[in-house]
Structure 1
Amino acid sequence: MGLRWKVSTAIAAVSALVALLLSLIIYNATQVSMLSSSRDVQDERLQSALRIYESTERVALGSALNDPDLPGPLRRAVLRGERATYVSNGNSEVPDVWAATPLPDGGILSLHSRFTDRYSVLDDLTRTLILGSLSVVAGSTALGVLIGSRLSRRLRRAATAAVRVAEGDSDARVREYIGERPRDEIAELARAVDEMADALQARLEAERRVTADIAHELRTPVTGLLTAAQLLPAGRPAELVRDRAEVLRTLVEDVLEVARLDGAAERAELQEIALGEFVTRRVRALAPDAEVRVEQDAHVTTDPRRLERILGNLIANAVRHGFPPLRIEVAERVLRVRDHGPGFPEELLAEGPSRFRTGTSDRAGQGHGLGLTIAAGQARVLGARLVFRNLTPGALATLRLPATPHGSAPHGSAALPDVQAPPQHP
């Protein structure tokens, strides 16, 4: 149950309770007042009948002499010499109103009438109270829905902004999403979340700058080291030096790319391409032994360089960590890369790609863990959805390109790729 319905239910319950209590109080007070008035009227009629009886010895005004049906409590009060009134329900829902007085000769003069003429007023009052209570409950419920809807809408907007911030949209702020409102708890929450987002953004930006500066400063000496390694005489030592120098150069370039992707200025350069043909050509160059299956080709508007980078990193990860056969499938805007190895690490499925995390022991020892991080970042720039999952056996990476290109906006405003770990099945 959402906040809107919780608030509405609470307000409706309180309104119903208040309406019930007020209705009972009003009904009982009205009934007591009307019965008291009937007692007074009955007593006045009895006094008039007593005067007529004393002057004419004739029973008048509907009075009775020594009525055998006189209620016991009233009879006992009269025998004590008191003039009294009494209300009894008898065998009917409509009460009876009695009045009796002692006579000088020891007899009892009494009056008896039903409360029917005024009891109908109580019926009308009951109907009015019921209708009024229902109206109050309905109105308060509608008011609760309205208040709850406004609170729920503001909280949902705040949650949406927080999700956008978590997804990397550096410009999203909660206060802008919920709009200008009076100062309340939600506004205070929005301000606190925005301040936290600003602090985190500043810290991340500082870390990104440090990473980019370090990688940039390493670029020149690494390039010189690679050039010097090419001048070494042929042999196994020279081959090892050149290999390590090339690995170091690749690492520096990957770190620079990750730093750029962490920024908010990356934009896609859009072109229209035939996805099936594009993937087929790239796979032949990257992994000649891989199987390419184009189930349904489609023309898409995307950034070919970034798409090639994603495809290359997915294929390199599958070749490095998986087992053949390697299969690449294209179905409209969906691209799948599957190997038959041990699958993705559970940490990756749970948390997504992470820098310098190469996986479990059966995937350790090769690479620096930046390939899938770069693929996820490039997918974010394209506004694509990148999903990782395990099959039996093997790992499957699925890239879903958007129907609407995202190249005109910075990657921070595009949808983030997803990492999912559904139940394993073939």
Structure 2
Amino acid sequence: MGRFALRSGLRWKVSLAIAAVSTLVAVVLSLVVHNAARVSMLDNSRTVMDERVKVAQRWYEQSRVLGFGAKLDDPKLPDQLKKEAWRGQRATYLEDSGAGTPEVWASVPLRNGKVLSVHTQFQDRFAVLKDLDRVLLIGSVAVVMGGIALGVLIGDQLSRRLRKAATAARKLAEGDSEVRVREAIGGRVRDETDDLARAVDGMAEALQQRLEAERRVTADIAHELRTPVTGLLTAAELLPPGRPTELVRDRAQAMRTLVEDVLEVARLDGFAERAELQEIAVAEFIARRVRAVHPDAVINVTRDAHVSTDPRRLERIMGNLLANAARHGKPPFEVTVEGRVLRVRDHGPGFPEELLKDGPSRFRTGSKDRAGTGHGLGLTIAAGQARVLGARLTFRNADPVLDGPDETDGTDEMDGTHGTDGECRGAVAVLWLPESAPTNTGSFPIIEVPD
């Protein structure tokens, strides 16, 4: 089973990061301001109470009058103040349970041995602290929301540039050599995105130059071989009948076919091929062409369709798929037409794992359980011609339970490749013809595969 991956946009990641930092900063600052304000209020309250007890002491000593709510030998006096009074010290004490408004005490010993004390809660003063907390909360929320908005703005700009770069890179991968990533992202901002775009453009240009050089060398070699190979075939026709003559003719014809295939691959690699479109009925066209090239193939038509495509290239694709099935697979060979979906299936050992993983590769003929004949160009040409048509060509191995005559799914089940006895039951090539034809600019529509 594949590992579950959660995909999220860059702008939301940036927004969440800024929001997290803003929240952390707002909380820390709010706690610091709250604690600083509380400590300042408590210190101020103790100072006020100390002044009150001194004034109350003078009043009592002068007129024997208790002011500011002062009491003598208050039984509720905290033990800490009793100890300080026993030492002859004036002192203050803060009784804070944390649940409500703290209670502040102040005491002073008198000459007659009694202890004068005052205490209060300063509820009006500490009510201001609640207002301060409310203001800090509102400010923190405002900071977080502003951070999120800033993150969305910054992340959206960066994400938009990266999306443009990705779109341009995909066009480059599809063969549009005129696209440049730096021009696609635009903008006046110079950042790491521009460095990435210039690096991708440089890499694309280097790869294009190298591929073009290789394509030209391949095409030149194949083109130069056409004349001597044609002469060899002509000379073989003049040889006297016999087994040696047949071998020479067969090998000369194989060499000529190889040269033509190499030239075709070179043309397809140049992305210069364009489809010549015609409206065709798929079922009739496929049935007629298949019977001509492979009379033994079984043709199943479940649904017909009319498409605009290049008949010559479509015939080339189907011919190569059937030739590959005949060369490497085993009968019966089945061709299924289901609207725009065409399937070619054999009942041989199936496609090799390398082809299922990496796709067709020239001059790679398969694995040990395949016949190993041919040059690996047939499927390469079929895939290239499908690209010119704007079609999609997929390869997989069949399971006898999943791939019956009424198979209707179009997914690439490359991992469900074995039957009940552990052996593959054939190779399946699926061609998806597009609803709309390739555009005049050479771009192709996206083939949507149903679930």
TM over 0.5: yes
Tell me if structure 2 keeps the 8 A contact 1:383–1:402: yes
Give the aligned partner of residue 37 of structure 2. Answer: 30
Are positions 1:201 and 2:231 aligned together? Answer: no
- Residues 269-308 of structure 1 show CA distances to partners (whole Å, capped at 9, x for unaligned) of 1111111111111111111111112211111001111111
Check conservation: 1:267, 1:409, Cα contact below 8 A. Answer: no
1:75 aligns with 2:82: yes
Relative to structure 1, the CA distance from residue 28 to residue 362 in structure 2 (aligned partners, 3 Å threshold; closer, same or farther) is: closer
Q: Would the alpha carbon gap of residues 187 and 268 (structure 1) be closer, same or farther in structure 2, given more than 3 Å must change? A: same
| Counterpart contact for 2:108–2:116, Cα < 8 Å | yes
Residues 1:61 and 2:68 aligned together: yes
In the alignment, which of 18, 24, 48 is matched to residue 41 of structure 1? 48
Q: What is the aligned counterpart of 2:432 among 391, 400, 410? A: 400
CA distance in 2, matches of 1:142, 1:76: 59
Instruction: Kindly state the Cα deviation for residue 246 of structure 1 after the two structures are TM-superposed.
Output: 1.4
Which of 211-220 and 5-14 deviates more? 5-14
Q: Within 5 Å, which residues of 2 pair with 1:7-406?
A: 7-89=14-96, 93-180=100-187, 182-392=189-399, 393-406=425-438
Question: Are the equivalent residues in 1 in contact too, given 2:180–2:201 (CA < 8 A)?
Answer: yes
User: Aligned AA for 1:268?
Assistant: A
**Number of the residue aligned with 1:423:** none
Contact 1:337 1:397 (8 Å CA) reproduced: yes
Aligned residues: 416
What's the CA shift for 1:219? 1.2
Q: Counterparts of 1:251 and 1:146 in 2: how far apart (Å)?
A: 57
Higher helix proportion, which one? 1
User: What secondary structure is seen at the aligned counterpart in 2 of 1:363?
Assistant: coil
| Partner of residue 412, structure 2 | none
RMSD of Structure 2 on Structure 1 (CA): 2.4
8 A contact 2:437–2:444 mirrored in 1: no
Deviation digits for residues 32-86 of structure 1 (CA, Å, limit 9, x no counterpart): 1112222233233333333332332111231112222222222333343333322
Deviations, residues 121-167 of structure 1 (Å, cap 9, x unaligned): 22222233233323323332343344344434444443444444344
| 3-state SS, counterpart of residue 123 of structure 1 | helix
**Structure 2 residue identity aligned to 1:281:** R
Deviation of 1:362 after TM superposition, in Å, equals 4.0
- The CA deviation string for residues 201-233 of structure 1, in whole angstroms up to 9 with x for no partner, is 110100000001111111112112222222223
Name the amino acid aligned to 1:387: T
Secondary structure of the structure 2 residue equivalent to 1:335: strand
Amino acid paired to 1:18? V
Identity %: 66
TM-score, with length taken from structure 2 = 0.85
TM-score, L = length of structure 1: 0.90
- In 1, the alpha carbon distance for the partners of 2:444 and 2:123 equals 77
How far is 1:181 from its partner? 5.1
- SS of residue matched to 1:73: helix
Which runs of 5 or more structure 1 residues have no equivalent in the other structure? 419-426
1:95 & 1:284 partners in 2: Cα distance?
99
Q: In 2, Cα distance between the equivalents of 1:336 and 1:306?
A: 16
For CA contacts below 8 A with separation 6 or more, give which structure has more relative contact order.
Answer: 1
Give the 3 Å change call, closer, same or farther, for CA 197–359 of structure 1 in structure 2: same
Q: Counterpart of 1:375 in 2: which secondary structure?
A: helix
| Cα distance, 1:365–1:77 mapped onto 2, change above 3 Å | closer
Q: Compared with structure 1, are the counterparts of its residues 322 and 416 closer, same or farther at alpha carbon in structure 2 (3 Å cutoff)?
A: farther
Runs of 4+ in 1 over 6 A off after TM superposition: 415-418
Q: Which runs of 5+ in 2 are unaligned?
A: 1-5, 400-424
CA contact (8 A) 1:53 1:59 kept: yes
